[in-house]
Amino acid sequence: MAVRAIHTLLLLCTMALLLTGLVSPSTAGLSLDTVRDFLTREEDTIVFSLIERAKYPLNRPAYAPLHFGAGASAGAEPGRNLNASFAELFIRESEAVQSKAGRYQNLQEIPFFAYRVPFTLAPPYNFTRDLYPAAALVNVNDTIWSMYFNELLPLLAKNGDDGNYAVTADADLNISSGAFKKDQLWQDRDALMKLLTYEAQEDVVKRRAEKKAIVFGKSITLDGPIQTGVNNSSLANFKVDPSVVYKLYDQWVIPLTKQVEIEYLLHRLD
């Protein structure tokens, strides 16, 4: 009921915005088909990045507080948390390089941490600003961070420690930043249209993401047929458990997407 009420409210807001001409002119050329194609393609990226992370064990020391003190803080900004984990320090330093390289000049890309690194490395490019400025105020990073490290990662990675902490933290960053966060914000570009159609699509999106985990996650042999049904194979044959991918979309990606859309719309009404 609550969800239905919010959708009704959003439908009203949407119609009001359309009527009052507040729709960004720059999104006019961005059709619903384009957005849908982009999102469908991003599902592949998410499933690929999940499969890649599942290649490595959990590597628990990468996520425990380091207590390294001065040794660990070389090159990082002052005042950061000395109780930070290796994964957090690694993501901070990787994002600082990305920031210097201009990645966050594109408004669809949001770092987990704010950087004061000058943007000096990349050739200049004029990104179109087809997100409303209010989009910058919508940020679910804390939720994504906590969800990923506390809930999704333990489902994704087997217990074990192979010492490849940099590679696994890089894979973590790819999942939560490269695919997941961009996925959220892009939808704001055409949020008004999306909102009217997304609910009916939800079941399709969840089941398609699960199917991608099955197809991309199977072992491919030259001779055998491609198995597409879950019943044909034991779960042990998949590189990542398809039900985890379903759960990711069902419990996190879709609800967070809605949250971002709602906050974005509310900011636009300010």
Residues forming contacts to a copy of itself in the complex (CB under 8 A) are 40-41, 44-45, 48, 51-52, 55, 61-62, 64, 66, 68, 71-72, 74-75, 86, 89-90, 93-94, 97-98, 100-103, 105-106, 109, 118, 120-123, 125-127, 161, 163-167, 169-170, 178, 204, 207-208, 211-212, 215-216, 218-222, 225-226, 228, 239
CB of 89 to a copy of itself, least distance (A): 6
Residue with smaller CB distance to a copy of itself, 45 or 259: 45
Among residues 37, 36, 46, 53, the alpha carbon closest in space to that of 245 is found at 46
CB of 208 to a copy of itself, least distance (A): 5
CB of 181 to a copy of itself, least distance (A): 12
CB of 211 to a copy of itself, least distance (A): 6
Residue 155 to residue 12: CA distance in whole angstroms: 39
Cα angle 251-31-110, degrees, rounded to a multiple of 5 = 50
Residue with smaller CB distance to a copy of itself, 204 or 269: 204
Residue 26 to residue 203: CA distance in whole angstroms: 30
Question: In one letter, which amino acid is 43?
Answer: E
Among residues 181, 259, 178, 204, the alpha carbon closest in space to that of 36 is found at 204
Residue with smaller CB distance to a copy of itself, 23 or 101: 101
Question: In one letter, which amino acid is 106?
Answer: N
In angstroms, the first-to-last Cα distance of the chain is: 26
Residues contacting residue 179 through CB under 8 Å, at least 6 positions apart: 42, 45, 46, 49
Residue with smaller CB distance to a copy of itself, 109 or 190: 109
